[in-house]
């Protein structure tokens, strides 16, 4: 049975066998039995490498008294959920990302993203959004790519349609601005399967 540690573009934690290509955390969310008890512990929501300095994150059991390892389909999904690159395992990504936000520190950036995650989802003109931004269409998350929308699933994308109209924006505004500046991290930006 899969653990409830896979993250959707809206930031929801779900149980699904698909693991994804990007790792991350929000602090310790699970109890001693591996049951998710809260959606976040810290304002510092990060996205990491699956492997770093010989540490491989297999997606298995959630260790007691340790942070909850989370898995994202890809970097675009992590950004939509309100995460940002880790300053340790993704330091060059983090530094370039931070510079594009105009934030003076990780704490300032994390506080800004936290407010945006908890705030209302404003409707935006879909055609004005950069590649990698997510919107809600018919209550489903769709990513903007090459003036089109692709529907997100835990295992990949499907259902290409033309980007048009207005829709609630899932990706926090700060992350949208970074995407609009052309930022693409070193982790898989978009999952190719589906």
pLDDT tens digit sequence for 137-181: 999 999 999 999 999 999 999 999 999 999 999 999 999 999 999
User: What tens digit of pLDDT does each residue of 14-25 get?
Assistant: 999 998 899 999
φ and ψ at 118, to 5 degrees?
Answer: -85, -15
Condensed to tens digits (0 to 9), the pLDDT of residues 184-194 reads 999 999 998 64
Predicted local distance difference test score (pLDDT) of residue 64: 77
Each residue's pLDDT tens digit, 36-93? 999 999 999 999 998 877 665 555 557 778 889 999 999 999 999 999 999 999 999 9
CA distance 160 to 148: 6
Mapping DSSP to helix (H, G, I), strand (E, B) and coil, where does residue 134 land?
strand
- How far is 133 from 153, CA to CA, in rounded Å? 15
Phi/psi class of residue 64: alpha, beta or left (left: φ > 0; alpha: ψ in -120 to 50)?
Answer: beta
Task: Please tell me the distance from the alpha carbon of residue 59 to that of residue 18, in angstroms, as a whole number.
Answer: 10
H or E stretch covering 152: strand 148-153
pLDDT at 53: 72
Q: How far is CA 109 from CA 7, 44, 101, 112, 181, in A?
A: 21, 9, 8, 5, 17
Residue 46's closest CA among 75, 12, 13? 75
Residue 43's pLDDT is what? 96
Tokens of residue 107, six digits = 């704490």
Given this model, what pLDDT does residue 193 score?
65
Sign of CA dihedral 175, 180, 182, 184: positive
pLDDT at 51: 82
pLDDT tens digits, one per residue of 112-139: 999 999 988 999 999 999 999 999 999 9
| Cβ proximity of 87 and 106 under 8 Å | yes
Least Cα distance to 25 among 40, 4, 3, 10 occurs for 40
* Structure tokens, 97: 């990302």
In angstroms, the CA 117 to CA 107 distance is 15
């Amino acid at each position: 049975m899969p653990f409830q540690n896979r993250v959707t573009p809206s930031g929801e934690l779900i149980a699904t066998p698909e693991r994804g290509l990007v790792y991350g955390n929000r602090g310790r969310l699970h109890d001693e039995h591996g049951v998710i008890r809260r959606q976040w512990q810290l304002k510092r929501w990060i996205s990491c490498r699956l492997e770093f300095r010989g540490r491989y994150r297999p997606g298995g059991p959630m260790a007691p008294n340790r942070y909850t390892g989370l898995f994202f389909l890809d970097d675009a999904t992590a950004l939509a959920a309100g995460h940002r690159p880790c300053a340790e395992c993704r330091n060059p990504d983090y530094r370039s990302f931070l510079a594009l936000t105009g934030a003076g520190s990780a704490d300032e950036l994390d506080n800004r993203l936290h407010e945006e995650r908890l705030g209302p989802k404003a409707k935006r003109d879909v055609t004005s959004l950069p590649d990698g931004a997510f919107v809600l269409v018919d209550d489903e998350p769709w990513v903007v790519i090459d003036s089109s929308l692709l529907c997100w699933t835990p295992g990949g994308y499907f259902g290409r349609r033309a980007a048009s109209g207005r829709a609630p924006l899932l990706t926090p505004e700060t992350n949208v601005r970074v995407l609009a500046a052309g930022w693409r991290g070193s982790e898989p930006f978009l999952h190719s399967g589906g």
